[in-house]
């Protein structure tokens, strides 16, 4: 939602811009990472990698809050070390122990990172618990699989328009056809996926996961 509205990213930029103004500094370049969590590893965050690469001696890598840079203690320390090798430093507009390099501030900075990691863990735990409860009630969890639609009771039910396609898949699968061959045959039959695109072996495999005969490991729901 933050990505769609732009509010989260804009707010962070405004905070950084205001901090720089008060310090009499100029922001030379902004590096924006969209739709990537601060919990992701450095190799999955190209904008952060580019920001560190662009640093020169005496530069500041400014963030609105430390948890925007990393939500992991060890990840944060690694970033600090990479920035230090460039003879630059990390600064949080919120302070958070980044004001200077004395031991007390270093300890405070790492404490903020520990708290951010704890909050991340709690959030993940709550999300998993909520999803497990929904799944136990038979309610939708995640995207609606092909062949289904969302009923009035918030539970999945067969989608009449998509059921014939799934039944064809099941028929071909029972004949021992490979997923690639089934995808090719389904496409020749003129049947398309929900987006109107051609089927691939991967997309077909995902659709068949929700049937008893789709994979070697029957899952979730059968067609009857």
- Is 135 inside a domain boundary? no
- Is 217 inside a domain boundary? no
Buried b or exposed e, range 103-131, using 16+ CB within 10 angstroms = eeeeebbbebbeebbeebeeeeeeeeeee
Q: Is 90 in a helix, a strand, or coil?
A: strand
pLDDT tens digits along 105-137:
777 777 777 777 777 777 777 877 777 777 777
Q: Is 143 in a helix, a strand, or coil?
A: coil
| Same domain, yes or no: 108 and 63 | yes
pLDDT tens digits along 177-200:
998 999 999 999 999 888 888 998
Nearest Cα neighbor of 203 from 163, 156, 147, 154 is: 147
| Same domain, yes or no: 201 and 106 | no
DSSP secondary structure code for residue 78 in this structure: H
Nearest Cα neighbor of 92 from 72, 68, 111, 115 is: 68
Cα–Cα–Cα angle for 189, 199, 148, rounded to 5 degrees = 90
Is residue 2 predicted with pLDDT exceeding 90?
no
Q: Is 105 in a helix, a strand, or coil?
A: helix
Is residue 87 predicted with pLDDT exceeding 90?
yes
Could you list the beta-strand ranges (E) of the chain.
60-63, 89-92, 148-150, 156-158
pLDDT band at residue 21 under the 50/70/90 scheme: very high
Nearest Cα neighbor of 15 from 68, 79, 75, 83 is: 68
Evaluate whether 179 touches 170 at the Cβ level (below 8 Å). no
| Same domain, yes or no: 30 and 68 | yes
| Same domain, yes or no: 109 and 166 | no
- Is 111 inside a domain boundary? yes
| Same domain, yes or no: 25 and 70 | yes
- Is 220 inside a domain boundary? no
Average pLDDT, the chain: 79
- Is 143 inside a domain boundary? no
| Same domain, yes or no: 36 and 116 | yes
> What domain range is 29 assigned to?
2-124
| Same domain, yes or no: 118 and 157 | no
| Same domain, yes or no: 161 and 68 | no
- How high is the pLDDT of residue 219? 37
CATH of the domain at 28: 3.40.50.1390
- How many domains, in total, are found in the chain? 2
- Is 134 inside a domain boundary? no
Q: What is the Cα Rg of the chain in Å? A: 25
């Amino acid at each position: 939602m933050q990505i769609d509205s732009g509010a989260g990213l804009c707010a962070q930029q405004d905070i950084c811009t205001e901090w720089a103004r008060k310090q009499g500094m100029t922001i030379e370049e902004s590096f924006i990472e969209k739709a990537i969590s601060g919990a992701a590893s450095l190799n999955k965050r190209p904008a952060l990698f580019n920001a560190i690469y662009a640093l020169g001696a005496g530069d500041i890598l400014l963030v609105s809050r430390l948890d925007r840079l990393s939500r992991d203690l060890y990840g944060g320390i690694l970033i600090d070390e990479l920035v230090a090798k460039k003879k630059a430093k990390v600064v949080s507009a919120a302070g958070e122990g980044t004001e200077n390099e004395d031991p007390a501030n270093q300890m405070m900075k790492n404490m903020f990172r520990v708290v951010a990691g704890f909050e991340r863990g709690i959030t993940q735990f709550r999300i998993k618990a909520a999803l497990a409860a929904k799944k136990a009630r038979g309610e939708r969890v995640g995207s609606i699989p092909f062949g289904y639609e969302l009923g009035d009771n918030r539970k999945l039910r067969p989608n009449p328009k998509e059921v014939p396609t799934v039944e064809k898949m099941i028929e071909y699968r029972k004949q021992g056809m490979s997923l690639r061959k089934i995808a090719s045959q389904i496409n020749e039959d003129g049947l398309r996926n929900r987006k109107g695109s051609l089927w691939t072996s991967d997309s077909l495999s995902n659709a068949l996961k929700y049937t008893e005969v789709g994979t070697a490991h029957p899952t979730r729901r059968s067609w009857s």
